[in-house]
Structure 1
């Protein structure tokens, strides 16, 4: 919530949780298992699920795309994975997820293609 508050303060908008269960779902989804097997075993898959969850679940009153992108890219960076996007690319991704044009598999593929080697 601290990151979310900082993003809203820096970029504008209304601070608040719209749906706490959707927030919990966005946070916990990357760590789901089925029959003891991780559903999102790689760092890229976890990051994509985080970003997709925050944006598509829309748990906050405002700033869902911003926090979703920030959490996704920060998770990757913390895990030593550097991905570079132009401002236009990142905006297209966020809007694409929010509109339903980009799904989780699409986002994972985009991240895999953009890894800096």
Structure 2
């Protein structure tokens, strides 16, 4: 399970490494993005697999835009961390990851399409 503290740390690392402005723009939106992968309906998880959870946090971090800067980078890192916690690795090239991220950021992919892409590009 990835926590709010984990995501804040990933954001800090991203800003320190790649540049940009530190800071949370909207705490509620950040918490919403972090909690989304673990939502349930009538005790059934809405995102039952690690792939589904990674897709949910990635889409939410980008759509919610909780940070002043580095939302896509932080979303990617949170997605990678969630996959890694479950022993899942990405096999996509850097170029494919870039295009995937842009497609998500521009609304060309919904959470189900993100999960499908991840399923096809992980091992």
Q: Same fold (TM over 0.5)?
A: yes
Q: Does 1:78 align with 2:98?
A: no
Is the contact between residue 55 and residue 94 of structure 1 (CA under 8 Å) also seen in structure 2? no
TM-score under structure 2 length normalisation: 0.90
Say if 2:7 is the partner of 1:11: no
1:42 to 29, 40, 49: 49
User: When the two structures are aligned, how many residues end up with a matched partner?
Assistant: 116
Q: Distance in 1 between matches of 2:99 and 2:26?
A: 25
Give the aligned CA root-mean-square deviation in angstroms: 1.0
Cα deviation for residue 42 of structure 1 reads 0.7
Q: Which runs of 5+ in 2 are unaligned?
A: 1-7
Is it true that 1:99 corresponds to 2:121 in the alignment? no
CA distance in 1: counterparts of 2:32 and 2:99, whole angstroms = 24
Contiguous gaps of at least 5 residues in structure 1: none
| 1:112 aligned partner | 119
More moved, 26-35 vs 79-88: 79-88
Cα distance in 2, alignment partners of residues 85 and 114 from structure 1: 5
**2:62 touches 2:71 (CA, 8 Å); kept in 1?**
yes
The TM-score normalised by the length of structure 1 is 0.94
Cα pair 2:92 2:122 within 8 Å, conserved: no
Please tell me whether residue 33 in structure 1 is matched to residue 40 in structure 2: yes
